[in-house]
A = this chain, B = another copy of it.
């Protein structure tokens, strides 16, 4: 009874832990930790169903030998593997002699790891099987381990315990998936709309995608939080949407623009801001749009902001945008050589650009993370 109370308390604690994040990778890792602790076993695996391909895939493993195993394993949902069988039937299994089970997927024997005993249970969300959770090798209770042959078996009560945990894991996996999916959906939709807007411009295509990619490359060499990285990505996707408001005849003009045309063209950051500023959830993003033509020395537009008055993500997008503009081919001139564009950016360190961001750009460039503009395939 005492043990039962202990297990239930663990379960409660694990369910809180599992649900305390909507990040898919974190949920998976916590699920495996919880399995190892609750079942007192050597390692654990979590396979998820890829419903498009009707396959199971496995991306993480924990425990003593699990840490190194980052490569992905894929299994068919059929009786050629234990996990496949459980996913197919929705039935839990205890197997106390894994190596001799006909379904044991020999290729999953990883780096000398020997599977002795196993419980394998389905993850079910709203009647669908969304994955399979395995506990592997119940640990002996004595601290010094006896030989492999005398390790304990898993029993029915272990299975019931793992089934209860798998219920919580399934919920946490499903929630994180819903959250991740809607976020991806959001970003993808914005990107598709931004690209459609970009098509009106005389830039050759792919500018938005490249500015996103270059901004993220620069950010790799800065110390941004996950949240800042998200704001940067979305800000880069949306940086030119204000061009919706610019007349076709200016956007599409093949020759150089005259002074009035330039004035209208330069209104695009402000227009983008006007379009999106009432979206409350974009408050940390729209600064990237409004200020991506500001300059570190205060000579940019539309607000003539200076130095750190310019939002950080705008300072990054500014470097990425300028670099892409230089290396890309336009109707009236071919793109610059990347090294020449690189020199230009470095030359403008401290005048047009934030010195710290130029430093990160230099890192990104020298690590081959900046591309060649519209000439390259992304």
Contacts and interface: CB of A to CB of B under 8 A. Distances in A.
Contacts of A241: 193, 196
A192 interface: yes
A12 to B, nearest CB: 5
Given A8-B9, A19-B19, A182 B244 contact: no
Contacts of A19: 15, 19, 168, 171-172, 175
A4 B8 CA distance: 10
A342 B282 CA distance: 39
Most B CB atoms within 10 A — which of A8, A164, A195? A8
Nearest to A274: B196
Interface string A233-249: 00000000100110111
Nearest to A249: B248
A168 B275 contact: no
Copies of this chain present in the complex amount to 2
A14 B11 CA distance: 12
Contacts of A276: 189, 192-193
Contact of A5 (B4, B168, B186, B280): B4
A179 interface: yes
A175 B15 contact: no
A110 interface: no
Contacts of A280: 185, 188
A378 interface: no
A312 interface: no
Nearest to A165: B12
A2 B248 CA distance: 76
Interface string A244-260: 11011100000000000
Interface string A103-114: 000000000000
A275 B185 contact: no
A182 B171 contact: no
Contacts of A5: 1, 4-5, 8
A40 interface: no
Contacts of A8: 5, 8-9, 11-12
Nearest to A279: B188
A175 B248 contact: no
Interface string A158-201: 00000010011001100100110111111011101101110110
B248 A281 contact: no
A4 B181 CA distance: 39
A278 interface: yes
10 contacts: A1-B1, A1-B2, A5-B5, A16-B168, A19-B19, A179-B179, A185-B280, A185-B282, A188-B282, A199-B245
- Nearest 10 A/B pairs, CB to CB: A185-B281, A8-B8, A186-B186, A248-B248, A196-B275, A188-B279, A196-B244, A15-B15, A19-B171, A19-B19
Given A178-B179, A184-B281, 4 more contacts: A5-B8, A185-B186, A188-B281, A193-B275
Interface of A: 1-2, 4-5, 8-9, 11-12, 15-16, 19-20, 22, 164, 167-168, 171-172, 175, 178-179, 181-186, 188-190, 192-193, 195-197, 199-200, 241, 244-245, 247-249, 275-276, 278-282
